Structure 1
Amino acid sequence: MSAYSSFAVVGGGAIGLPIVNALVARNVSVVLLSRPGGSAKIVPSGVQVAKVEYTDAAAVAAVFKAHNVDVVLSTITTMAAAAQKSLVEAARLAAVKLFVPSEYGMPTEGHTEGILGDKSRIAADLKAAGIPSTRFYVGMFTDDVPWLVGHSEHGKITVVGKGEVPVSFTAVADITGFVAHVLTTLPRSELENRVFRLEGDRASMNDLGVLFNSPVEHVDRITGEAGDLKTLLLAIINTGAGSTGWDEATKAKGSGIEAAGSANALWPGHQWKTIKDVHGL
C-alpha cells in the first residue's frame, strides 16, 4: 500500500484534470492548483481548487502546507516546462515527499537542449533539492495523433523526415489511470527516483497511413497553427526518441526495465488502448 494519501495537481489542462479524476477514484485527498484568471475548472466533489501564481514559490508552498500534501504532480505544458523550477522550490519549502514532474512524453534523460533538455534539468533540480521524484514516459498521446500529423485538417498524414522509426503511443485515459494506480498502490521504495516507461501502441509515422487509410506526405516542416511545435516534435521522433525505451546517451533502445512499455506490467489485467481503439479505426 502506498505511503501517500494527499496529492496536489498543478495545472488543470488535458492531462491535469484527468489525473485529478483518476486520483479521486482512488479515494485520496486532492487539491488542484490553477493560475489566477484561468478558466473555471469542473472538478469532482471534495476537490478544492487553489488559485495561485505558479512562479510564487512561497504562495505555492503555503497551499501545499495547508493541504498536508505528500505528492505534487506537475502537469504544466511542455513549452513551459522550465517554469517548474519555482514548483520545485515550493515543494522543498513544504517538505513534500514526492514530486512528479511534467514529463508525460518522450524520454528526457541525457538531453541538454530544447524542451527535452528543460525537462531533464528539472529532474536534476529535484535531485539537488533532495526531493524524490517519479517520471512517466509515455511517448506521444494517442488521442493527439490526428492533430499532430494534420489528419484532422486535411485528411493526410504529414510527416517530417522519413517516418520509418517506431514511436510509442499511449492514450490519455491509460496514462492517467496508470499514474493514479501506481501512486496509490506501490510502496514508497518503488516510487522514489523511478522512471516508468509506458506504451499503449507502437507504430512508425508511416504506419499511420495504413491505420487511417490515408496518404502519407513527407515534408521538411509543418506550416499553419502550431506548425513550429509539430515540426519540432516530428523531428525529434524521427531520431528514434519517440520510443519510451529510447536511450539518448547510446542512441539506441533500452532493455529490461528500460524497454518501451516495460512499466505496463505494473497494472495487471489492464487492457491498453491501441491507436485503432482510440480513433475507432
Structure 2
Amino acid sequence: MSSYKSFAVVGAGTLGLPIVNALAAQNVSVVLLSRPGASVKTVPATVKVITVDFTDVAAVAAVLKEHKVDVVLSTITTTTAAAQTSLVEAAKLAAVKLFAPSEYGMPTEGQAEGFLGAKNQIAADLKAAGIASTRFFVGNFTEFIPWLVGYADHGKIRIVGKGEVRVSFTSIGDIAGYVAYVLTTLPASELENRIFRIEGDRASLNDLGLLFTTSVEHVDEITGDDGFLKTLLLGLVDTGAGSTGWDEATKTEGLGSQAAGSANALWPGHQWKTIKDVHNL
C-alpha cells in the first residue's frame, strides 16, 4: 500500500472529476480545489469541494496544510499548463510530498517549446523546489478522436500529414482509474520522480478510416472551430510524438520501461478499453 493517504485534485474538468471519483473509491481523503465561479460539481459525499483562486499561493497553501495533503494532482487544461507555477509554490509551502502535474497527454520530457515545453518546465520547477513528481503520459484521449479528426462534424477522418505513424490512445476512465490505483497502491519509492507511460490502444490516423468505416482526407491545415489547435496537435502526432513511448531526444520510440504502454502492467488484471470499445464500432 502507498504511504500517501490525503489527496488534493486541482480542477474538475474532463479528467479532474473522474480522478476525484476514482480516488474516492479507494477510500482515501480527497479534496477538490475549484476556481471561483466554476460550475457546481457533483462529487462523492466523502469529497470536500473548496473554492480557491489557483494563483493565490498563500490561500492554496493554507488549504493544503489544513487538510494535511500528501499528494497534489493538477488537472488544469493544456492551454493553461504554465499557470501551475503558483500551485508548485503553494505545494512547497505546505510541504506536500508528491505532485502530479497536468500532463495526461503526449510525452513532454525533453520538449522545450509550445505547450509541451511549458509542461516540461513545470517538471523542472518541481525538481528545483525539491518536490517529488509523478508524470502520466497517456497519448490522446480516445473519446476525443471524433473532435480531433473532424469526424463529429463531417463524418470523415481529416488529418494533417501522412497519418502513418502509430499513435497512443487511452480512454478517460482508464486514465482516471490507473492514476488512482497506482497512487494508492504503489510505495512512495516507486512513485517519486517517475514517469508512467500508459496506452489503451494504438493505431495510425490512417487506421481510423477503417475503424470508423469512412474516408481519410489529408489536408495542410484544419479550419473552423479550434482549427489552429487541431492543426498543431495533428502535426505533432505526425512526427511520432503522439506515442507515449516517444523519445524527443532521439526522435524514436523508446524501449523497455520507456516503451509505449510499458506501465500498463502496474494495474494487473485491468482490461484496457480499445477505440472500438469507446466508440461502439
TM-score of the aligned structures, taking structure 1 as reference length:
0.99
Separation (CA, whole Å) in 1 of partners of 2:236 and 2:194: 24
The Cα offsets for residues 192-211 of structure 1, whole Å up to 9 and x where unpaired, read as 00000001000000000000
User: Runs of 5+ in structure 1 lacking a partner?
Assistant: none
Separation (CA, whole Å) in 1 of partners of 2:208 and 2:163: 10
Separation (CA, whole Å) in 2 of partners of 1:136 and 1:276: 23
Separation (CA, whole Å) in 2 of partners of 1:53 and 1:133: 23
| Match in the other structure for 1:171 | 171
User: Is 1:13 the counterpart of 2:13 in the alignment?
Assistant: yes
| Match in the other structure for 2:100 | 100
User: Is 1:243 the counterpart of 2:238 in the alignment?
Assistant: no
Question: 1:209-220, aligned counterparts within 5 Å?
Answer: 209-220=209-220
User: Runs of 5+ in structure 2 lacking a partner?
Assistant: none
| Match in the other structure for 1:85 | 85
Query: What is the identity percentage for the equivalent residue pairs of Structure 1 and Structure 2?
Result: 74
| Match in the other structure for 1:259 | 259
User: Is 1:137 the counterpart of 2:116 in the alignment?
Assistant: no
Separation (CA, whole Å) in 2 of partners of 1:92 and 1:208: 44
Q: CA RMSD in A?
A: 0.5
Separation (CA, whole Å) in 1 of partners of 2:112 and 2:62: 32
TM-score of the aligned structures, taking structure 2 as reference length:
0.99
Separation (CA, whole Å) in 1 of partners of 2:242 and 2:92: 32
AA paired with 2:73?
L
Separation (CA, whole Å) in 1 of partners of 2:238 and 2:46: 44
User: Is 1:31 the counterpart of 2:36 in the alignment?
Assistant: no
The Cα offsets for residues 120-177 of structure 1, whole Å up to 9 and x where unpaired, read as 0000000000000000000000011011111011000010111111100000111000
C-alpha displacement at 1:46, in angstroms?
Answer: 1.6
C-alpha displacement at 1:188, in angstroms?
Answer: 0.3
SS of equivalent residue, structure 2 residue 263? helix
| Match in the other structure for 2:123 | 123
Poorly superposed stretches of 4+, deviation over 4 Å: none
AA paired with 1:27?
N
| Match in the other structure for 2:147 | 147
C-alpha displacement at 1:112, in angstroms?
Answer: 0.4
The Cα offsets for residues 216-257 of structure 1, whole Å up to 9 and x where unpaired, read as 011111111111111111010010000000000000000010
| Match in the other structure for 2:114 | 114
